[in-house]
Chains A and B, each alone.
Chain A
Amino acid sequence: MTTWFASPADAVDRLGTAGYLADRATATTAFLAGSLEKPLLVEGPAGVGKTELAKAVARATGAELVRLQCYEGLDEARALYEWNYKKQLLRIQASGEQEWDATHDDIFTDEFLLTRPLLTAIRREEPTVLLIDEVDKTDVEVEGLLLEVLSDFQVTIPELGTVTAVRRPFVVLTSNATRELSEAVKRRCLFLHLDYPDAEREREIVSSQVPELEDRLAEQLVAMVGRLRELELKKAPSIAESVDWARTLVALEIRDLDDKAVDDTLGVVLKHASDTDRAVRELRLRK
Chain B
Amino acid sequence: MSRSGLLDRHLAFLEALRAAGLPVSLAEDLDAVTALQALPWDDRATLREGYAATLVKKPSFRPTFDTLFDLYFPRLVGAGADRGPDDEAGAGEDAPGPRDNGPALAAFREQLLDALAAGDQQTLARLAAEMVGRFGAMPGRGPGLSSWSAYTALQRVAPSELVDKIVAALLAQGRTGEEAQRVAGRRLGGFTGMVEDDARRRIAEEKGPDHVAKVAVRPTIDRLDFLQARRSDLEEMRREIYPLARRLATRMTQEHHAHRRGALDFRRTVRASLSTGGVPLTTHHKPKRPHRTELVVLCDVSGSVANFAQFTLLLVFALRDQFQKVRAFTFIDHVHEVTQHFRPGADVADVMADLAASTSHAALWGRTNYGRAFTKFAEEHPDALGPKSSLLVLGDARSNYSDLALGPLKEMAATARHSWWLNPEHRRHWDTGDSAARAYGEVVPMAECRNLTQLGEFVHDIL
Contact = CB atoms under 8 A, between A and B. Distances in A.
Interface string B37-76: 0111001011001101110111100100000000000000
Most A CB contacts (10 A, CB to CB) among B53, B57, B182 go to B53
B176 A284 contact: yes
A282 B179 contact: yes
B35 A178 contact: no
B441 to A, nearest CB: 31
Contact of B39 (A8, A43, A191, A274): A8
A283 interface: yes
Given A25-B52, A232-B238, A179 B183 contact: no
The range of chain B's interface size is: 35 or more
A123 B293 CA distance: 51
Nearest to B49: A28
Nearest to B352: A232
Contacts of B426: none
Interface in A228-248: 230-232, 234
A286 interface: no
B374 to A, nearest CB: 34
Nearest to A194: B59
Given A7-B40, A193-B59, A278-B347, A183 B23 contact: yes
A179 B460 CA distance: 13
A178 B54 contact: no
A45 to B, nearest CB: 9
A274 B49 contact: no
A180 B453 CA distance: 13
A28 B53 contact: yes
B54 A190 contact: yes
Contacts of A32: 35, 38-39, 50, 53-54
A140 B53 CA distance: 23
B239 to A, nearest CB: 7
A8 to B, nearest CB: 5
Contact of B247 (A8, A177, A186, A234): A177
B41 to A, nearest CB: 12
Contact of A178 (B175, B183, B246, B346): B246
A230 B247 contact: no
Contacts of B242: 234
A230 B39 contact: no
Contacts of A28: 39, 46, 49-50, 53
A110 B314 CA distance: 56
A192 interface: yes
A24 B45 CA distance: 8
Interface in B12-52: 23, 25, 27-28, 31, 34-35, 38-40, 43, 45-46, 49-50, 52
Nearest to A43: B59
B168 to A, nearest CB: 17
A251 interface: no
Contacts of A136: 250
B53 A192 contact: yes
Most A CB contacts (10 A, CB to CB) among B45, B59, B235, B346 go to B59
A187 interface: yes
B345 interface: yes
Contact of B49 (A24, A43, A189): A24
Contacts of A87: none
A170 to B, nearest CB: 14
Contact of A36 (B23, B38, B350): B38
Interface string B325-367: 0000000000000000000011111100000000000000000
B92 interface: no
Contacts of B28: 187
Interface in B191-244: 235, 238-239, 242-243
Contacts of B52: 25, 191
B292 interface: no
B254 interface: yes
B408 to A, nearest CB: 38
B83 interface: no
A43 B59 CA distance: 9
4 pairs of A and B residues whose beta carbons are closest in the complex: A28-B49, A186-B57, A29-B53, A190-B53
Interface of A: 7-8, 24-25, 28-29, 31-32, 35-36, 38, 41, 43, 72, 136, 139-140, 177-180, 183, 186-193, 227, 230-232, 234, 272-275, 277-278, 282-284
Given A31-B39, A32-B35, A189-B57, 14 more contacts: A8-B40, A8-B46, A177-B243, A178-B250, A179-B251, A183-B23, A191-B56, A192-B53, A227-B175, A230-B179, A232-B349, A274-B346, A283-B176, A284-B176
